[in-house]
Structure 1
Amino acid sequence: MDATTIASDRPLPQDEGVEHRWVEVRGTRLHVAEYGTGQPILMVHGFPQHWFAWHKVAASVAAGHRLICPDLRGFGWSGQTRRGYDMDSLADDMLMLLDALGLDRVGLVGHDWGAHLGFRLCLRAPERFCGFLALNMVHPWSRHRAVLPNLWRMWFTAFIEYPVIGRAVLRHWPAFTRFLMRHQVADRSSWQEAELEEFSAATRASAHAGQAMFWQYVLRDVPALVRGTWRRHRLTVPTVLLGGERDHVIAPSLLAGAEGYADDLTVRLVPAAGHYLPQERPEAVAEALQKLFTGRS
């Protein structure tokens, strides 16, 4: 595996109004899908997805916005490398992508792991972001008394994070990926069969990146959270944290407690929604995006 290895050689999903490019970044090529023109907004996908995770949201907000939807290193149609899947390295990728695109300051939207990465970006380089919409992810200042009763919700990570085993599960057991996607939404009809097939097939191709990202979280992020590393940092980027009222992965109780570490943070819950807000409630995501970045809904 080297920097020229592409995570997937499958045809790109078709969607109206999307354009594709590949950008050289830190020893690999990142695939970037773009919608619309206007105010630039970086859209960072979560697991087990890629750029196509944003297609429903894009249908509502591409007019007036330039939505920049990269595939993270090793995912989708971006290049795979042996290393580089910890949050700081992925943050370096995104910052250098913005440099390569000639963008000094953008809006930021992230879902799931993309939102976790978004918090890291805002804490490291707040001058690059005019606002941050975080979807279905806990913030870096979680209270231990809120986290401990909810650890059971992460049972599925035991099948992903360990080297060798995790890659084998993601590569050879697509039913596992489909199970997660179907059971982590509040309404299973939110998924079309073609979407489940697309993301489960993509996960097989990006098994190395998926396993490595989870493992790096165990090695680096969990100890930092236990030590309270991020309590020495303050979130200065205006942020909206949007969660699903029925999110079985990131429970609503985990979204509280960051107010003392942020200058401008709003937490809202979407009723009757689960863990995949861009899929289940794209209109709620679009409304929050419009309000945060344009002041209108």
Structure 2
Amino acid sequence: MTEETVDRPPRPFPDAPGVRHRYVDLPEVRLHVAEFGQGEPVLLLHGFPQHWWAWRRLAPLLADRYRLICPDLRGFGWSEAPAHGYDTATRVRDVLALLDALDLPSVKLIGHEWGAWLGFHACCLAPERFSAFLALNIVHPWPLHHRLAPQAWRFWYTTPLESPLLGRWLLRRRQGFTRYLMRRGVVDQSVWADGALEEFVAASAEPGAARAGEALHRAFALRDTAGLALGRYRRLRLTTPTRLLTGERDFVLPPGVLGGGERNATRLRVAGVPDAGHYLHEERPELVAAEALRLFAEAADGQG
């Protein structure tokens, strides 16, 4: 495993005060990593269709006391986009390999959407590596089927994205589809006034990222959805102190579908955020930072 400083990225990085960039070569993939601040390490895992810049609003609120490690996950941003490896198990291996490469025995964790789904599985597989976990806008692995099933229609947009060739074509050639999803995902459209929407739309339209977006959704549909439906995750146990937040106006996962999990995750707490949607870190960075600080402190005191 090797690390090197990045001098000239293949496309310009968006601006973010205090950011440091590097590439990290892992056994299976090369990841780009952005970092902010100094102190105890916090790993931040982005969702779709974002990359490390998703954390630009949150980073200034935490970087004065933590080292924030923000990788571009396999296939996204400036990371390598191999043809395969977008299933949850492989992506968990990427995360654990990154911690090994950075010589980090344990970190605090924040994840959004697919990054948070990845976080749940990573915490269950390697609980010693994660001291606290703040999950945003995602279902946990143990939902109550009678609550989740009636809301399945909310995932209509994943059907074209997961379809072979169609998904990547949509992301590359019909960028209005991505714009629609991101606009639909926030209550306050001024969130995207800083050019973030166009940055993430353009990034997800890159050939490798478009293929990765399709593969990610297809892997979830074929493997994870079946796992949820068949109860395959009932053997998983979450011991990491965890807080799960979602927007009460999240068009994908409203708070009502997030019940259950008590048997498998005794240290999991779930809450909805009023007047917020699917991108809590974009719409409510101050609230997310406050929840993270509270959770991290409680976990350190053994109260989480």
TM-score by length of 1: 0.95
Q: How does 1:259-278 map to 2 (within 5 A)?
A: 259-278=262-281
Q: How does 1:95-244 map to 2 (within 5 A)?
A: 95-192=96-193, 194-205=195-206, 206-244=209-247
Quick one: distance in 2 between partners of 1:192 and 1:26?
39
Structure 2, gaps ≥5 residues long: 1-8
Quick one: distance in 1 between partners of 2:11 and 2:69?
21
Cα deviation digits, residues 17-47 of structure 1 (max 9, x gap): 1000000012321000000000101100000
Quick one: distance in 2 between partners of 1:270 and 1:148?
22
Q: For residue 5 of structure 2, what is the aligned residue in structure 1?
A: none
Q: Which moved more, 1:104-113 or 1:247-256?
A: 247-256
Q: How does 1:236-255 map to 2 (within 5 A)?
A: 236-255=239-258
Quick one: distance in 2 between partners of 1:26 and 1:87?
17
Aligned-pair RMSD on alpha carbons?
1.2
AA aligned opposite 1:251: P
Q: CA shift at 1:110, angstroms?
A: 0.4
Quick one: distance in 2 between partners of 1:159 and 1:226?
21
Give the one of 271, 277, 290 matched to 1:287: 290
Quick one: distance in 1 between partners of 2:153 and 2:227?
20
Q: Which moved more, 1:26-35 or 1:199-208?
A: 26-35
Cα deviation digits, residues 69-105 of structure 1 (max 9, x gap): 0000110000010111101000000000000000000
Quick one: distance in 2 between partners of 1:135 and 1:262?
16
Quick one: distance in 2 between partners of 1:165 and 1:146?
30
Q: CA shift at 1:193, angstroms?
A: 5.2
- How many residue pairs get aligned? The number is 289
AA aligned opposite 1:84: G
The answer on whether the counterparts of 1:160 and 1:211 sit within 8 Å (CA) in structure 2 is yes
SS of residue in 2 equivalent to 1:32: strand
Quick one: distance in 2 between partners of 1:105 and 1:28?
21
**Identity, % of aligned pairs?**
52
Quick one: distance in 2 between partners of 1:27 and 1:266?
34
Segments ≥4 residues shifted beyond 2 Å:
none
The answer on whether the counterparts of 1:150 and 1:251 sit within 8 Å (CA) in structure 2 is no
Quick one: distance in 2 between partners of 1:38 and 1:106?
11
